[in-house]
Amino acid sequence: MKKMLIASTSTLYQGAYLDYLLSDLEEFYKGIDEIVFIPYARPGGISHEAYTANAKKAFERIGKKVVGLHRFDDQIGALKEAKAVFTGGGNTFLLVSQLYNFKTLPVLRERIFEGMHYFGTSAGSNITGVTMQTTNDMPIIYPPSFKTLGTIPFNINPHYLDPIEGSKHMGETRETRIQEFHTYNTIPVVGLREGSWLAVQGDQITLKGSLSARIFEQGKDAYEIDPESLIKF
């Protein structure tokens, strides 16, 4: 049975890394001592070591050990043995490219369906969907495919932003971009606002946090769902 937490962001405004989720993560990872961290999204271009150090510092607060996947000579074997994985945010194009490069995407998917605990933020949440095509990131590298884990039956748009009334910004809104996506694609999209996350238990997907999520389906007007709602299409 799938056990997943899929979060829009790792850090809320003026908060510490993972601070707002730590109590939920402590419960989520109960009975698990070690978490394998996937640092390949490299936010701001930081090194794998520096990124892993950030994760280690956060999880030390709830008594968990973190080891970076990049440290293993046999990454596929490491994922096959892992009880829990955390994939951090950053650039989704880079993350997906690396997962294909190291041939770890299929085994990560397989282990999630076997019940390995999976936690992702931002880019790490993007890859849980059917494709990465609703990411907000710049295409700094070309992945072999936009197809991702497909562990949930829709796509994520993390850091979802509503239009600001009275703004003089002339660029496209997030809603406009997702409408463009639906011109050519039928995959539903869940816009996750900052501080929101999805809790997945098997086939049950529940919106968590204090904010509603915006739901996009091809050929329909966008609509809102409230916290604690189940997401089904």
In the annotation, is 137 catalytic?
A: yes
From first to last of its 233 residues, what are the pLDDT tens digits of the chain?
Answer: 999 999 999 999 778 999 999 999 999 999 999 999 999 999 999 999 999 999 999 999 999 999 999 999 999 999 999 999 999 999 999 999 999 999 999 999 999 999 999 999 999 999 999 999 999 999 999 999 999 999 999 999 999 998 777 776 656 799 999 999 999 999 999 999 999 999 999 999 999 999 999 999 999 999 999 999 999 98
pTM for this predicted structure: 0.95
**Alpha-carbon span 120 to 87, nearest angstrom:** 5
Domains, the chain: 3-225 (3.40.50.880)
Q: Which entry of 122, 125, 182, 196 is annotated as an active-site residue?
A: 122
Contacts of 44 (CB under 8 A, 6+ apart): 90
In the annotation, is 159 catalytic?
A: yes
Q: Which entry of 8, 10, 97, 137 is annotated as an active-site residue?
A: 137
In the annotation, is 203 catalytic?
A: no
